[in-house]
Amino acid sequence: MSESMSEPGPLSFHVPAPAVRPGGTPDFSDVKISRAGEVRRPDVDVAPEEIRDLAFQIIRVLDRNSEAVGPWAGLLSDQELLDGLRHMMTLRAFDARMQMAQRQGKTSFYMQHLGEEAVSCAFRKALEPGDMNFPTYRQAGLLIAGGYPMLDMMNQIYSNELDPMKGRQLPVMYSSREHGFFSISGNLATQYIQAVGWAMASAMKRDTRIAAGWIGDGSTAESDFHAALVFASTYKAPVVLNIVNNQWAISTFQGIARGGAGTFAARGLGFGIPALRVDGNDYPAVHAVARWAVERARRNLGPTVIEYVTYRVGAHSSSDDPSAYRPKTESDAWPLGDPVLRLKNHLIHRGFWSEDRHKQAEAEVMAAVIAAQKEAETHGTLHTGPHPSARDMFEGVYEQMPPHLRRQRQQGGV
Amino acid sequence: MPRKTMVEAIRDAMDVSMQRDDNVIVFGEDVGYFGGVFRCTQGLQQKFGSSRCFDAPISESGIVGAAVGMAAYGLRPCVEIQFADYMYPAYDQIVSEAARLRYRSNGQFTAPLVVRMPTGGGIFGGQTHSQSPEALFTHVAGLKTVVPSNPYDAKGLLIAAIEDNDPVIFLEPKRLYNGPFDGHHDRPVTPWARHPQGEVPDGHYTVPLGKAAIRREGSAVTVLAYGTMVFVAEAAATETGIDAEVIDLRTLVPYDLETIVASVNKTGRCVIVHEATLTSGFGAELSALVQENCFYHLEAPVTRVAGWDTPYPHAQEWDYFPGPARVGRALKAVMEA
């Protein structure tokens, strides 16, 4: 009798684990990377069942020679690409300064984007005024690329006297209706279904605006993710459902949330939602895929799921130390490279940019960030103040302050 | 004046609101074509179309989460959770999202939505169709919590809730849908058609949030109650012959402290009645408020009559339910104290 035909023994419990832990040699050989230009570009009105394979490939534009190739290339002018490069560089410089400010005690908490800058910066340029993002805490590129003032971001990070959120919300949990940036909750996945609801409302009102939901690989395990996909699918909501797979949910590798599914994009297939997977470190690829999904939504063709394959180079937050759970050199081994470097090299390859001009731009960007930071600090930091008043704490809980809160404010003596 | 059941009054409130404001929409499980398991939305889809009244997937977090997004867009969703007992998957959306959106965004985004849900027991619904989770909402900053006790109030309060610019939890005592149940489960209930509070004006009117009503004037003891317990308390007062003043809170948050304090200072005694479990129930808050504000007028300890601290049982429903006999004993006890 063969082994497989014998009586089953006791069951065994399965817990997925990453291939490598600290001290090991980083290895991404199991990450199947499509060649740049290889993945086809279907029409936006394609039937979802005809592109199921796209949930398992990676749409890429920039190849190893820094050329933009294939059917997803060529949507952006050199100047637009250069603007994109500047946005990413600005976000990176902003992060570097704010991370340092946190270490200096000027704020309580910070979350950086290192390695993921292309995702939010390139996506933002696919939207129109009036569209609404429901972001997580790692999409500040939507604000930077959307023209939201760095000074306002810093004022919130410092919870100073000009904090647009009046000191009530954590640093980096920004909000700007004007810039199509919904107030970040900080609770995970809750806003994915809200994006769908917002998009449903736009359709109900026969408006032309669309919504974009954002979620990380780890949070796709939340029930709100599944609720969002059901609602988006059922009501054909004009929404782009973005999944940023940066490989790590704090210390938990993406396999814990992904389970037996081949990819996160594949989650969309069971809901009948077209699902694309894109190189998240490839600015023109991210933009092209975003444009495709945005156009689908705008044409009333319904939702799209996009998985951005990227890597969280930095720590999860200022409270995290990734060397405790992954090799220190893992980010160097990440096969999709660095988004800033790749776009820079592409622009140089096109003869539109140079090392010297890049160095100069780096200096300009940093100078602009530092100037904004200096100005923000004249209005206070969390450490030194001045802060929004204690009175502000009691405002805005309700439209009109109810009597019990008024009494508490009096008791508080403010 | 036309008389309506509480179900009809609630339906009328949504109908009137939907007629007056295109941004008012209604959705939830079974609420569209069928009109809801309690029939509260019957006919609304036919009248207003399926983009303003529609069926939702069985996903309470999805229903409230989508409503938060719609409200942020500018609509005024009035959603139904089929039973308050099914609310828990939506709790995160209610507590972390709807309740805090105005505050955390400094007013850039708001969530003017209503979450309706049938509450309370007395229908042999067992532990999954009988709970009274109001204290889980009154504990949350940013929410308003309403519990009507009759058709007139239900319509006026629901219209006020829909027009309110903050999220409102609207708990409908399901045992009162068809008549003023006073806890005597072995007797027939008077239908609302024969009860004065079943008189519901046509068209638009509101009952303001945050205002209590004195249902029975009295001088011996104040009874603080809401929902089904208002009628139980009235029955207990009549049956014991104690001159109790029964206050129907109507809105739990914001609560009407003025009316409570004026009454307790007058009577010097206070019994608090709710169907929800005792420990950390809303009665604890009321008791603390009475103690803080009326201490020097009190002639007896503040007493609570509530559901026992057990899950809501099935066969033992009437042992669990704080009926007129238990309330009556509490009234006598505070009078003798």
Distance between CA atoms of B84 and B115, rounded to whole angstroms? Answer: 10
Tell me how close the Cα of A312 comes to any Cα of chain B, in angstroms: 27
Residues of B in contact with A182 (CB under 8 A): 72, 109
Neighbours of A20 (CB within 10 A): 16
Q: How far is it, in rounded angstroms, from Cα B270 to Cα A413?
A: 31
Q: Which two tokens stand for residue A221?
A: 């395990």
Nearest-Cα distance to chain A for B157, in Å, is 17
- Spatial neighbors of B56 by CB under 8 A, at least 6 apart, are A231, B27, B28, B29, B31, B62, B63, B66, B79
Given CB atoms, is B61 within the 8 Å cutoff of chain A? yes
Question: How far apart are the C-alpha atoms of A300 and A302, rounded to whole Å?
Answer: 5
Any chain A CB within 8 A of the CB of B334? Answer: no
Q: What is the mean pLDDT of chain B?
A: 98
- Quickly tell me which residue has 């599914």 as its tokens: A261
In Å, how far is B103's CA from the nearest CA of chain A?
Answer: 5
Instruction: Name which CATH class applies to B213-336.
Output: alpha beta
CB contact under 8 Å between B57 and A404, yes or no, is: no
pLDDT at A2 over 80: no
Phi, psi at residue A108, to the nearest 5°?
Answer: -85, -25
* CB proximity A394 to B under 8 Å: no
Task: Give per-residue pLDDT as tens, B247-299.
Answer: 999 999 999 999 999 999 999 999 999 999 999 999 999 999 999 999 999 99
Tokens encoding B177: 């849908």
What letter does residue B199 receive in the DSSP assignment? Answer: B
Q: pLDDT (tens digit, 9 = 90+) per residue, A211-222?
A: 999 999 999 999
Mean residue pLDDT of chain A comes to 96
Average pLDDT on A40-67 reads 97
Q: Which residues of chain B lie closer than 8 angstroms to A194, CB-CB?
A: 65-66, 68-69, 72, 97
Is the Cβ pair B105, A169 closer than 8 Å? Answer: yes
Single pTM value for the model:
0.97
- Angle between helices A355-378 and A78-103 in degrees, nearest 10: 50
- Show which of residues 190-209 on chain A sit within 8 Å of chain B, judged by CB atoms: 190-202, 204-205
- Cα dihedral B147, B151, B154, B156 sign: negative
Q: Which residues of A touch B25 (CB under 8 A)?
A: 204
B211: closest CA of chain A, how far (Å): 12
- Angle A117-124/A339-349 helices, nearest 10 degrees? 60
Using a CB-CB distance cutoff of 8 angstroms, which residues of chain B are in contact with residue A403? Answer: 210, 254, 257
Tell me the shortest Cα–Cα distance from A168 to chain B, in angstroms: 6
Across B161-174, average pLDDT: 98
Query: Taking the CA of residue A233 as centre, how many other CA atoms within 13 Å lie in the half-sphere pointing to its CB?
Result: 18
Band the pLDDT of A30: cuts 50, 70, 90.
Answer: confident
User: pLDDT, tens digit, for every residue of A99-145?
Assistant: 999 999 999 999 999 999 999 999 999 999 999 999 999 999 999 99
B216: helix, strand or coil: strand
Bond before B254 cis per omega within 30 degrees: yes
Distance CA B332, CA B243 (A): 11
Contact between B62 and A230 using a beta-carbon 8 Å cutoff: yes
Give percent of chain B with pLDDT exceeding 70.
100
Nearest Cα neighbor of B181 from B313, B321, B1, B335 is B321
Please indicate whether, in this complex, the C-beta atoms of A223 and B89 are within 8 angstroms of each other. Answer: yes
Rounded to a whole number of angstroms, the CA Rg of chain B reads 19
DSSP A212: E
- Partners of B262 on chain A (C-beta within 8 Å) are none
Domains, chain A, in order of start with CATH, read: 32-383 (3.40.50.970), 390-414 (no CATH)
Starting at the earlier edge strand, list the strands of the sheet with A275-279: A132-134, A211-216, A239-245, A304-309, A275-279
Task: Work out the percent of chain B whose per-residue pLDDT is above 90.
Answer: 99
Contact B62 A228 (CB under 8 A): yes
pLDDT in tens, B182-231: 999 999 999 999 999 999 999 999 999 999 999 999 999 999 999 999 99
A5 CB neighbour count, 10 Å cutoff: 6
Residues of B in contact with A175 (CB under 8 A): 104-106, 108-109
- Measured in angstroms, the CA of B254 and the nearest CA of chain A are apart by 6
A135 contact partners, CB below 8 Å, separation of at least 6: A120, A142, A181, A182, A184, A191, A214
Q: How many CB pairs under 8 A join A and B?
A: 141
Both tokens assigned to A364: 């300009």
Cβ contact B57–A193 (<8 Å):
no
Is omega for the bond preceding A386 within 30 degrees of 0, making it cis?
yes
In tens, the pLDDT along A63-87 reads: 999 999 999 999 999 999 999 999 9
What are the residues whose beta carbons fall under 8 Å from the beta carbon of A42, sequence distance 6 or more?
Answer: A50, A51, A54
Of A177, A196, A226, the CB nearest to B108: A177
d(CA B148, CA A178): 39
Residues A245-263: tens digit of each pLDDT: 999 999 999 999 999 889 9
Q: Domain B6-198 is of which CATH architecture?
A: 3-Layer(aba) Sandwich (3.40)
- B129 as an active site residue: the answer is yes
ipTM above 0.85, yes or no: yes
Inter-chain touch A198–B69, beta carbons under 8 Å: yes
- Residue of B106, B110, B145, B261 to mutate when probing chain A, most A C-beta within 10 A: B106
Q: Provide mean pLDDT across the span A289-300.
A: 98
To probe the interface with B, which of A161, A178, A271, A398 has the most B CB atoms within 10 Å? A398
Give yes or no for B50 touching A (CB within 8 A). Answer: no
pLDDT band at A163 (very low <50, low <70, confident <90, very high): very high
User: Would you place residue A6 in the very low, low, confident or very high pLDDT band (cuts 50, 70, 90)?
Assistant: confident
Inter-chain CB proximity B65 and A228 less than 8 Å: yes
Distance, in Å, from the CA atom of B50 to the CA atom of B34, rounded to the nearest integer, reads 12
Interchain CB contact of A232 with B (< 8 Å): no
A283-298 and A78-103 helices, crossing angle to 10°: 110
- Are B6-198 and B213-336 the same fold in CATH? yes
B94 touches chain A (CB under 8 A): no
Q: Which residues does chain A have within 8 Å of residue B109's beta carbon, measured at their own beta carbons?
A: 175, 177, 182-183
Hey, where are the domains in chain B?
6-198, 213-336
Is A403's Cβ below 8 Å from some Cβ in B? yes
Contact B70 A197 (CB under 8 A): yes
What is the pLDDT at residue A385? 86
Residues 141-200 in A contacting B (C-alpha not used; CB under 8 Å): 164-166, 168-169, 173, 175-177, 182-183, 185, 187, 190-200
Closest to A247 measured CA to CA, from A93, A20, A13: A20
Contact B323, B183 (CB under 8 A): yes
Q: What is the pLDDT of residue B266?
A: 98
Annotated active-site residue in B129, B184, B297, B314: B129
pLDDT surpasses 70 at A3 = no
| Average pLDDT of the segment spanning B98-119 | 98
Give the separation between CA A103 and CA A93, rounded to whole angstroms: 15
Q: What is the number of other CB atoms lying within 10 angstroms of the CB of residue B73?
A: 23
Is the pLDDT at A191 greater than 80, yes or no? yes
Q: Which residue in B52, B74, B254 is closest to A402 by CB distance?
A: B254
Chain B (218-277) residues lying within 8 Å, Cβ to Cβ, of chain A: 253-255, 257
The larger pLDDT score, comparing residue A19 to residue B45, is at: B45
Any B CB within 8 A of A120 CB: no
Handedness of CA B212, B214, B220, B223 (dihedral sign): negative
